[in-house]
Amino acid sequence: MGKVVSRADLVNIRSELKKEKRRVVFTNGCFDILHRGHIDYLTKAKALGDVLVVGINDDNSVRRLKGSARPIIEQDDRAAVLAALAVVDFVCLFSEDTPYELIQAIVPDILVKGADWSVHDIVGKDIVEAAGGSVHAIEFLPNRSTSNIIKKIIQTAATCL
């Protein structure tokens, strides 16, 4: 089994990790164009526990959230790129607009989102805290975002044409 796993496989993996008393950290996102901000964020998330699980919005979910022009990179490629990172232990695609059902299925010990989210508003907080886990908001590196990269590409392309 590789690092990109189905929800059903992830539930089984989580069960084994729990028996081994390994702390599972979960985060999620679109991770459309991977950049330094993502790497910094994922590294900080992993430091909070033993195993980092990343939920990725599938292509249809990204379109609903970000508009018809997104994602730039298709889901299988986004998953493969994240899975290639040493800091990431498992990647699981989800089709819902939020990872609530995935969080409910695996009940991680630690739930992480970026600091653009208030801890109070992080999806799945209720599940994780009810199980005795913790929820964290991690500061982003400033001026690092996929939206900014896309804008820069558009501006650069306009001057080249």
pLDDT digits (tens, 9 = 90+) for 22-65: 999 999 999 998 989 999 999 999 999 999 999 999 999 999 99
Return the pLDDT at 144: 66
Q: How far is CA 87 from CA 65, 90, 143, in A?
A: 26, 10, 22
User: What's the whole-model pTM score?
Assistant: 0.91
Q: What is the mean pLDDT of residues 133-143?
A: 87
Q: What is the mean pLDDT of residues 91-99?
A: 97
Gap between the Cα atoms of 102 and 125, Å rounded = 13
Among the CATH numbers 3.90.550.10, 2.40.420.20, 3.40.50.620, 3.40.630.10, which is that of 7-160?
3.40.50.620
